[in-house]
Amino acid sequence: MSITLIPYGTKIDFVRLRFFGFSVTILLMLITIGGLVVNGLNLGIDFKGGILVEARAAQAVDMGALRSKLEGLNMGPVELQQFGTDKDVLIRLQRQPGAEAEQNASVAKLRESLGADYEYRRVEMVGPRVGDELFTGGMIAIGLALLGIGIYVATRFEWQFGVAALVATFHDVLVTLGLYSITGLEFNLTAVAALLTLAGFSVNDTVVVFDRMREIMRRQRTNDMTKVINDSVNQTLSRTVMTSGTVLVAMLPLLFFGGSTLINFTAAMTWGVLVGTFSSIYVAGSLLLYMKPMHLQTKGQQAAPSGKEA
């Protein structure tokens, strides 16, 4: 027995509600831009530079106790990541005031705090220049991903679809970036990974709607774009809600119980899924109302002389 959250055959007039969707979209983008201008981004160690230590303990690491111990050193924010086995830990500290001598002193202080039970596999110091390069590279990666999404959709469908998908996905990524600025969440390489993941999720939802639109265009000889958009969104609504709901079921426990290590990723994904679902339903399809695809125009012109359906 299948589970249906949305009743089959819904007839919601999403096109009529498009100005509501556009208003919410514009408001969120304005808030995001304001947040970026006023607050900027709280850049993490990956982008500001800092100290990276990879160590292995003699026994399983108690991450909570280790975090408390290192935060007591008063060397700024501490990032811990467990990998490989439960004995391996990656420690990130922000760059300390001073030159190389002060950084080496901080590493020595860290080792003294950890004690002799740890074997140090790797110690690196990331300077601000390297951090700037990583930040620039991350922004370029996001930009290229959005551009690639637009080109892919334009190639698979028509250029109008590509523009609509690019605008909707750009909105989702930008508004999620605003979450980092407004809440002060640390923006690091994990955040970049969250934005790239979100872009893929968002365009997946949009492509499903567009694919149904193309199918309806091929079946019906009509130039009524309003009907095509409403039918497409309504017919894929259950699938859209189920997909987003499934992702949220996985994200919410991690958001509330995953701790500070996962908050950067899970908060962005949770917010991004909600925003992406909204834009797929209210924004992406309705944008095509102002850029009628050539395929639909041709269908309407062919149907006009006879006034009969094939």
**Which pLDDT score is estimated for 221?**
66
**Which pLDDT score is estimated for 98?**
67
Which distant-in-sequence residues (6+ apart) come within 8 Å of 93 by Cβ? 45, 50, 51, 53, 70, 75, 76, 77, 78, 79, 106, 110
**Which pLDDT score is estimated for 79?**
77
Which distant-in-sequence residues (6+ apart) come within 8 Å of 270 by Cβ? 248, 251, 252, 255
Radius of gyration of the chain (CA): 25
Which distant-in-sequence residues (6+ apart) come within 8 Å of 69 by Cβ? 113, 114
Joined tokens for residue 23: 């208003």
**Which pLDDT score is estimated for 227?**
83
In 164-251, beta strands by DSSP E: 186-187
**Which pLDDT score is estimated for 34?**
92
Cα angle vertex 73, ends 186, 87, to 5°? 75
What count of other Cβ atoms lies within 10 Å of the Cβ of residue 192?
A: 20
Mean pLDDT (10-residue bins), the chain, 310 residues: 63 83 90 90 77 80 79 76 76 73 78 79 72 80 85 81 84 90 86 87 83 78 76 84 87 81 85 88 81 55 40
Closest CA to 158 of 203, 214, 234, 225: 214
Q: How far apart (Å, rounded) are the C-alpha atoms in residues 207 and 156? A: 9
Closest CA to 132 of 204, 49, 13: 49
**Which pLDDT score is estimated for 295?**
54
Q: How far apart (Å, rounded) are the C-alpha atoms in residues 122 and 52? A: 8
